[in-house]
Amino acid sequence: MAPHTLSPETFREDLWNGEAVGVALTLALVVINRLLLPPSERHTMRRPVALLALHVAFFLFIRLEPGETRLHRGILVVAVALLLAALGRAFVVLVLDVVIGRRFTRPLPKIVRDVSEGGMYLLVGLAGAHAAGIELGSLLATSAVLTAVIGLSLQDTLGNLIAGLAIQVGHPFDVGDWIQFDPDLAHVGRVVEISWRATKVLTAEDVEIVIPNGVLGRGPISNFSKPRPHMRRDVRVTVPRRAPVARVERLLVEACEGAFGVLAEPLPYARVCAFTPTSVEYALHFWTDRFDVHDRVDGGVRKRLLATLAREQIDAPAADAAETRAKELSRLAALRAIDFLAVLPDEPLARVAAASREVSYVDGERVLRKGETSTELFIVHTGAVRVLATGGAGATSGAGEEVLLARLGAGEFFGEMSLMTGEPRQATVVADGDTELFVLSHAALKPVLDARPELAERISEVLAERQAHLEEHAAASARDGRGGDQAARATQILGRLRSFFSL
């Protein structure tokens, strides 16, 4: 087949007639894009402007130096290709960034832009070759061997390209999703880029892995970000079989409430997943949307479970005599430092110390909740706690935001009125960092007061003094007369104490 021919006069006349239209259209697209694109993306117009400037330069050369040589004809073909490239590039930006890009919250995948621009430049190349008189059909028909060689050499590249397009069409994952692309647990990461050849994944260890799209297209992919942005995590613990199942399940669920990264909805739950003649294995299921730090979330939950099981003396190892005695002496010193307990003689106070216990809490874990009716006194041994109350309009109803009332450190205590009179808790207390507390229960103090009822009167007097002192430091207490009748207050507390302890 004879190559396509075009007379110089006809070629030049057609080109000059269309050149002005092409330049005007390209300039219009550039201006529209500049007006509609955000300032951070206007740099994408630099390439069309540069291509258009080169086209004008080549075209001016043809006009100022007319001729019919092969050099002139070649420059003319290049000028046409530059104009088409500038026009095509501006059109691609208009479609992808202005028209389509505004419909999505995330930027378009890089592969879509690459394929679009590649197709545009391919069309420009074909148009330029046609203008130069090259018949591509006859060239390919006479180069079957070359075509086969190129096809074989590009087999993997074309496979990756097709797989990349399939990923974009099927949307098994998007940029920002957390995926696992093979059985190796180390190969779990966040998708940072999808190109025409490969997908880049950043693992939790900050290692970037480049995966050919063909590999992703041949294997299963686990997407932890879809269909919902949160995922379920599982933590397993084994406890002795003697512990009641319902109690253990309740403790496990309560332990993870409010932990870092744990969602309140869906609700966590625990279940029995295995057992032996001596032990039971439990699985705690909870949900998190912080997969980027899932190891930290899991570790925080395990830490809470460990502290909870230790407090409840589930699977607690037996302590030796020396360790037990040292702990009792530490608790005795802490109890003796409390004013209303210091009135107890040494022997009864030692018995109270022996009956008390140590408990541990981790940062942010709730020790008490406002309105609860537990009857224990807490002494801060190590660490600290935050005392919170409901503020704002919801103060009387329990709604509203919690405000900080006080921060109690080592040696300070809370819960004395609940211990002595059974009053509901007046505030919520949470651990401020890892904290160890000594706990004195109503049951530990009752035998002492049963044997020495006269001690109740002395304790009520000290508690009345404490309340009066606290009220004197309140904003309105000293002026409304509530702090004046200390004897009446002591009598009132004594009556409630005797009633509570059945004295």
Q: 342-375, pLDDT tens digit by residue?
A: 778 888 888 888 888 888 898 888 888 888 888 8
Pairing between β-strand 198-203 and β-strand 208-212 as defined by DSSP bridges = antiparallel
Whether residues 217 and 235 fall in one domain: no
Position 492 in a domain:
no
pLDDT of 77 above 90 = no
DSSP 279: E
Same domain, 173 and 137: no
Residues 363, 430, single domain; the answer is: yes
- Name, of 101-110, 325-334, 485-494, the range with top average pLDDT: 325-334
390 and 370 Cβ atoms separated by less than 8 Å: yes
Question: What is the DSSP secondary structure assignment for residue 187, as one 8-state letter?
Answer: -
Nearest residue to 424 (alpha-carbon basis) of 497, 373, 499 = 373
Position 100 confidence tier, pLDDT thresholds 50, 70, 90: confident
**Chain centre to alpha carbon of residue 397:** 32
For residues 83-99, give the mean pLDDT.
Answer: 79
Query: Of the given ranges (106-115, 200-209, 446-455), which has the lowest mean pLDDT?
Result: 106-115
Higher pLDDT, 352 or 187: 352
Percent of the chain with pLDDT over 90: 8
- Side chain identity at 443, as an amino acid letter? A
CB 388 within 8 A of CB 395: no
Q: Are residues 243 and 297 in the same domain?
A: yes
Are 255 and 177 contained in the same domain? no
- What pLDDT shows up at residue 26? 81
CA distance 314 to 219: 45
- Asked if the structure places residue 488 within a domain, the reply is no
In-domain check, residue 128: yes
CATH of residue 429: 2.60.120.10
What is the per-residue DSSP string for 369-422?
A: -TT----EEEEEEES-EEEEEE-GGGGTTT-S-EEEEEEE-TT-EE-HHHHHH-
Using one digit for the tens of pLDDT, what is the confidence trace for 8-26? 555 555 556 566 777 788 8
User: Is 483 a residue whose pLDDT tops 50?
Assistant: no
Residues 249 and 124 both lie in one domain: no
CATH code of residue 179: 2.30.30.60
In a domain, 155, yes or no: no
> Residue 244 maps to which CATH number?
3.30.70.100
Residue 338 pLDDT exceeds 60: yes
Is the pLDDT score of 96 beyond 90? no
- What are the tokens at 422? 């059974």
The answer to whether 410 touches 383, Cβ cutoff 8 Å, is yes
Outline where 4-107 has alpha helix (H): 8-36, 46-64, 70-93
**284 falls in which pLDDT band (50, 70, 90)?**
very high
**Cβ-count burial 11-34 (b if 16+ within 10 Å, e if not):** bbeebeeebeebbeebbebbeebe
Q: In the listed set 200, 223, 246, which residue is the last one of a domain according to the structure?
A: 223
Position 457 in a domain: no
User: Rounded distance, CA 24 to CA 87, Å?
Assistant: 10
Reported confidence tier of residue 397, pLDDT bands at 50, 70, 90: very low
32 and 132, same domain (yes or no): yes
Note the pLDDT of residue 148.
Answer: 57
Residues 355 and 295 in one domain: no
Q: Answer yes or no: is pLDDT of 140 > 80.
A: no
d(CA 220, CA 181) in angstroms, rounded, equals: 7
At residue 45, the pLDDT reads 81
> How would residue 50 be classed by pLDDT, with cut points 50, 70 and 90?
confident
| 178 & 134 share domain | no
Between residues 283 and 343, which one has the greater pLDDT? 283
pLDDT band at 394 (very low <50, low <70, confident <90, very high): very low
Do residues 220 and 214 lie in contact, with contact meaning Cβ atoms separated by under 8 Å?
no
pLDDT tens sequence across 158-184: 666 677 767 766 678 888 888 888 777
CA-to-CA distance for 381 and 312, rounded, in angstroms?
18
Which residues are registered as beta bridge partners of 186?
none
Q: Is residue 150 part of a domain?
A: no
Q: Over the stretch 424-455, which tens digit does the pLDDT of each residue have?
A: 888 889 999 889 998 888 888 888 777 777 77
Neighbour-count burial of 52, counting CB atoms closer than 10 A to its CB (0-12 exposed, 13-18 middle, 19+ buried): buried
Indicate if the pLDDT at residue 195 is higher than 90.
no
> Which domain covers residue 259, as residue numbers?
231-311
Count of the separate structural domains present in the chain:
4
Top-confidence range, 262-271, 343-352, 451-460, 489-498 = 262-271
Asked, for residue 469, whether it belongs to a domain, the answer is no
Mean pLDDT of 198-206: 84
Residue 2 has pLDDT above 60, yes or no: no
Mean local confidence (pLDDT), 116-124: 72
The Cα angle at residue 34 between residues 16 and 42, in degrees rounded to 5: 115
Indicate the average pLDDT of the chain: 76
Q: What is the DSSP string of 288-313?
A: ES-GGGHHHHHHHHHHHHHHHHHHTT
CA dist 361 and 404 (Å) reads 19
Per-residue pLDDT band at 475 (split at 50, 70, 90)? very low
Residues 356 and 436 in one domain: yes
pTM: 0.54
Rounded Cα gap, residues 82 and 88, in angstroms: 10
> Where among 278, 311, 344 does a domain terminate?
311
Mean pLDDT of 36-64: 80
**Do 248 and 349 fall into the same domain?**
no
Let me know whether 102 and 127 are in one domain. Answer: yes
Residue 92 in any domain: the answer is yes
